[in-house]
Amino acid sequence: MAQRRNLLLTIRYQGTNYHGFQVQKNAVTVAQVLQDAMEQVLGCREDIKGCSRTDSGVHANMFCVSVKTNSRIPCDSFVKALNVKLPYDIAVTDCREVPMDFHARYNCKGKRYVYQINNSHIKDPFAYRQVYDYRCPIDVEFCNRQCRDFIGTHDFSAFCAANSSVEDHVRTITDCGMVRSGERVTFYVEGDGFLYNMVRIMVGTILEISAGIKPAGCIPQIISSKDRAQAGATAPAWGLYLDRVFYDSESMKISGETADILEG
């Protein structure tokens, strides 16, 4: 009998055609399509563990999935075979063996999200559903200063969707800011975890401050209020990308180049 292995797959995907990552009964998701491809390659349907749950329409530059299998297919060959079976908007970029107790979600030490904005009065037809077209001028240096107020360990209840079932709203943000490259504005944030719609509400709040709807310096007060109604609108899903997933080398028993890739 073949010895069971635990594999860590790194994928990236455009979320436009999917109702998020997690399997759902009446909707097509990234997890379902990935499992379909794996079943064709492995000859059986394996259970997979994703590093996160992304909403409908959200994209991922890097998303990690762990899967236990009896297959002895070499990692490089598994990547090639899966990419043949997967549709154009999902790609496997890496596969490696990890310890049997490794879990893509529970061993995750942090994540980085980016939110892409086309800050122009002309929409970008080649980035349809991949960026948020926002016509009001954005003072990026001003917004970058406002973003710094998110950094630290806070109760982010005010930045969580009202229908969330999560009880613990305390999260630690280690970096947050905004940069511009031409007409493309990128909001970025790193932390140990994120609440439902948290990043999109953060973006919506910053844009309302930028537009003068909310006063400069109001973020600490909004955080202290723990009141969702005090924060800004939820920005559209299609501008959001899970950009990086962070693990430590000890949990994966890896070193050198691999650790550099995953620990950032």
If phi over 0 gives left and psi between -120 and 50 gives alpha, with beta otherwise, what is residue 186? beta
Token pair for 111: 């994540």
CB 198 within 8 A of CB 189: no
Phi and psi, residue 107, nearest 5°: -90, 0
Q: Is 55 a catalytic residue?
A: yes
How far apart (Å, rounded) are the C-alpha atoms in residues 179 and 212?
19
How far apart (Å, rounded) are the C-alpha atoms in residues 88 and 66?
22
* Residue 31, SS3 per DSSP: helix
Q: Which of 187, 194, 109, 115 lies closest to 159 in space, CA to CA? A: 194
Alpha-helical segments (H) within 156-197: none
From the list 55, 76, 175, 243, the catalytic residue is 55
Phi and psi, residue 199, nearest 5°: -65, -40
* Residue 154, SS3 per DSSP: strand
User: Within its chain, how far is the Cα of 146 from the centroid?
Assistant: 22
CB 50 within 8 A of CB 63: yes
The DSSP code for 157 is: G
How far apart (Å, rounded) are the C-alpha atoms in residues 234 and 70?
43
How far apart (Å, rounded) are the C-alpha atoms in residues 260 and 249?
9
Q: Which residues are identified as catalytic?
A: 55
